[in-house]
Chain A
Amino acid sequence: MTSAPRVPLGREIAGAAVRVFGQLSRLVRTTAFKLLAAYLAVFAVFAVSVIGYTAWHTRELIQNQVADDLDREVRYLADQYRVGGIQRLVYVIDRRSRRPGSSIYMLANFQGEVLAANVSDLSLGLLDAAGTRFTTYNRQDDGGASRSHVAFVQVFILPGGYRLLVGRDIEERDTLRDLVARPAQWAVVLIVVLGLAGGVFVTRRVLKRIDAMTATTETIMAGDLSGRLALTGTGDEFDRLAHSLNVMLERIEALMQGLKEVSDNIAHDLKTPLTRLRNRAEEALRTARGEEEWRAALETTIEESDGLIRTFNALLMIARAEAGQARDNMTDVDLADIAENVSELYDPLADEQGLDLTVTLEPVFVHGVRELLAQALSNLLDNAIKYGRPPEGERGRIEVSLKRDGGHAVLTVADSGPGISAADRERVVERFVRLEASRTRPGSGLGLSLVAAVARLHGGELSFADNAPGLVASLRLPAKVVRDGASATADLASRR
């Protein structure tokens, strides 16, 4: 039972192994790691082939040198034999044998009797034929032990049937080769190990940032739209990506916020008249007597529902303008023409309300939707007439002007009414915002929101300024180049 406590330990180890394996397999699946592994593989193959080629070439070089040396020595010994006969040859070999680091020598007669040699244990058959070959021989090392060595030998048959063998121990050659190859092999192993470690390190860093981004986006997806991705400030590709995502999130948050406000406002602005409608109808059912009262109740009902429809249409139009669908219907339109027509449409009404409407126009074309631009100006004029009304017995004024300002067309509607405070100017563009708390004056409260939506659709903007006294609403739109300046000017002249 001594092994009993080891079981949980074993399990723990297994569990840790599974975890490590899980982490590793996740690491291995990442793009960064795969890229690194691919680079590593290519580099390793390249390194191995370079090292292999170098090793092989070194070996060849040494081999050739050994062969050359042997050849030279054999020729020298043959010369000695020719000059001094077999005695001289034996003498020379003996003398040479005693030199340190000498070659391997063996001289035998045609019967195979060894006349001179500095090695033993060479197989006899070796001497039968002339030529070069590899063989093994035993030699006493420094310690005295005999060890088998590899040698490269050349056998030469001298006149008279003598066989001369000269050889070189090539252990040295192999040692040299190993000297080159082994560190190279280690280098390759080291490269692979370091590369993998580096890969794991880099990948983990990348993974950490991606994981952080994923975690943030998950909380955002869970509903918290205010979350933003953290930036490191290095300006690297992750920062750029995070920045783009943050900008996108901001836009989405603004849209969602807008949507929420709109739905809240719709709920309010449609529910209120709907409730009123229903109450009136109920009241009529309960109390109305006689045709006159029925009729009055029904007429109010229709009026109320018309108001509802108008609000609804304005909402739809804003939504469409903001979705940008109307962009397909854009043409080059004469904004001066629109400004003139719409001003003319409103002139009698303004006059009746005690307002003098003046129009100053420069010829400007914009790329846009005529109906929407006319609607936008109409809303601005509606507003100016509604809120710019002068006190009883006085005359107020409304000035419509269209100017060209560089690449922009600036359409302004200025009134001389009470105006609005600087703080409220931003708010008026928001949907449904009406500055007076009571909703006694007619209007859906969507007029300026629609103008702002039309401005955005055309790549422009709506802004407000103080007219001291009064309000100036400016619609700034990108202008088109007037293709025929002369005729436009003539046109303007005729207008005045």
Chain B
Amino acid sequence: MNANLDLDTLTAMRLLLVEDDRDAAEYLRKAFREAGHVVDHAADGEEGLALALADKYDVLVVDRMLPLRDGLSLVAELRGRGHATPVLILSALGQVDDRVQGLRAGGDDYLPKPYAFTELLARVEALARRGGPQATDTLYKVADLELDRLAHRVTRGGKEIPLQPREFRLLEYLMRHAGQVVTRTMLLENVWDYHFDPQTNVIDVHVSRLRSKVDKGFEVPLIHTVRGAGYMVRAGLA
């Protein structure tokens, strides 16, 4: 499949939200619906497991502490039965070791509470990987920007853009999620493999450097800043 992307390919996702707190669940349902997604809700671990097994979802959003069956056990059970649906674990426990436990149990991403909804949405959309390039694709393409993962080469309009290794990885991650919002913490986690919260805007400076290499001198900007959320690579106007 060609990774060339336009927004229409990003269709609505089917999400399962397993969260026992009624208010939080109601808020998330509404917010996901406003973002154009379909949300089913389960209020405890057993119900969540039953729904996840019975239906096909794009992403599961599972609270870690649940009545009847906790989130980690739900994910482990699901993985044990061969279900590969991406799971994002929400938790009030946000420390390094908690994250490690969550991912070890079979979670694909881990978001500590409290979180910004934009962060959650961006991560859920990144997990769904609808319309984006596949992991096996070796060539990412957005408009006239091309990234060759095998040759480690980036060209725009046929002209090569020399990038530092880290800049290459940054662009690679942004392009893999072209059309989706990518947050600063997602970049720090996926490009640098760190999960802490830097006090300053270190990521912004990296992105602006990358932008000056990729967008400078071209009429159409491809790396966009999404206010209050993060960044997005796409061909259309912001």
Contacts and interface: CB of A to CB of B under 8 A. Distances in A.
B36 interface: no
Interface string B185-222: 00010001011111111100110010000000000000
Given A313-B197, A352-B205, A447-B199, A372 B192 contact: no
A245 interface: no
Given A309-B114, A349-B205, A371 B199 contact: no
Contacts of B209: 348
A270 to B, nearest CB: 14
Contacts of B194: 341-342, 345, 371, 374-375, 378
B205 A329 contact: no
Interface stretch (A15-23, A320-328, A470-478): A320-328
B153 interface: no
Identify which of B96, B114, B199 gathers the most chain A CB atoms within 10 Å of its CB: B199
Interface string B7-29: 00000000000000000000000
B97 A326 contact: yes
B96 A329 contact: yes
DSSP majority for the A interface? Answer: helix
A371 B96 contact: yes
Nearest to B205: A348
A104 B94 CA distance: 111
A310 interface: yes
Identify which of B166, B195, B197, B201 gathers the most chain A CB atoms within 10 Å of its CB: B197
A305 B199 CA distance: 15
B138 interface: no
B198 A378 contact: yes
A317 B196 CA distance: 10
A379 B196 CA distance: 10
Nearest to A443: B199
A336 B116 CA distance: 34
Contacts of B53: none
Contacts of B206: 345, 348
B161 interface: no
Contact of B96 (A302, A326, A442): A326
A316 interface: yes
Interface in A77-127: none
B56 to A, nearest CB: 35
Contacts of B201: 349
Nearest to B206: A348
B147 to A, nearest CB: 21
A273 B100 CA distance: 32
DSSP majority for the B interface? Answer: loop
A352 B204 CA distance: 11
Contacts of A341: 192, 194
A53 interface: no
Interface in A367-394: 369, 371-372, 374-375, 378-379, 382, 385-386
A379 B202 CA distance: 12
A344 interface: yes
Contacts of B2: none
Nearest to A317: B95
Contacts of A374: 194, 196
A442 B205 contact: no
Contacts of A43: none
Given A348-B206, A352-B205, A325 B97 contact: yes
A442 B199 contact: yes
Interface in B150-171: 166
Identify which of B97, B188, B197, B200 gathers the most chain A CB atoms within 10 Å of its CB: B200
B204 to A, nearest CB: 8
B202 A346 contact: yes
A310 B166 contact: no
A378 B97 contact: no
Contact of A345 (B96, B192, B197): B192
A349 B200 contact: yes
Nearest to A442: B199
B205 A371 contact: no
A299 B220 CA distance: 30
A382 B199 contact: yes
Interface string A327-346: 01100000000000110111
Nearest to A321: B95
A341 B206 CA distance: 13
Contacts of A348: 202, 205-206, 209
Contacts of B200: 349, 382, 385-386, 442
Nearest to B200: A382
Interface string B87-106: 00000001111001000000
B198 A316 contact: no
Contact of A313 (B94, B198, B205): B94
A413 B198 CA distance: 17
Contacts of A345: 188, 192, 194, 198, 202, 206
B155 to A, nearest CB: 23
A372 B197 CA distance: 11
Interface string A170-185: 0000000000000000
Contacts of A352: 205
A423 B94 CA distance: 36
Identify which of A320, A341, A371, A385 gathers the most chain B CB atoms within 10 Å of its CB: A371
Contacts of A442: 199-200
B128 to A, nearest CB: 26
B95 A320 contact: yes
A369 B94 contact: no
A348 B208 CA distance: 10
Interface in A342-364: 342, 344-346, 348-349, 351-352
B97 A379 contact: no
Contact of A379 (B114, B166, B199): B199
Given A309-B114, A325-B97, A329-B96, A375 B199 contact: no
A82 B97 CA distance: 117
B131 to A, nearest CB: 30
A489 B51 CA distance: 54
A328 B166 CA distance: 31
17 contacts: A316-B94, A316-B95, A329-B96, A329-B100, A345-B188, A345-B192, A345-B194, A346-B202, A348-B202, A348-B205, A349-B202, A374-B194, A378-B198, A382-B198, A382-B199, A442-B200, A444-B199
Given A329-B97, A374-B196, 12 more contacts: A310-B199, A313-B94, A316-B94, A341-B192, A341-B194, A345-B188, A345-B198, A346-B202, A348-B205, A348-B206, A349-B205, A371-B196
9 A-B pairs with least C-beta separation = A375-B196, A348-B205, A371-B96, A349-B205, A382-B199, A349-B202, A329-B97, A374-B194, A382-B200
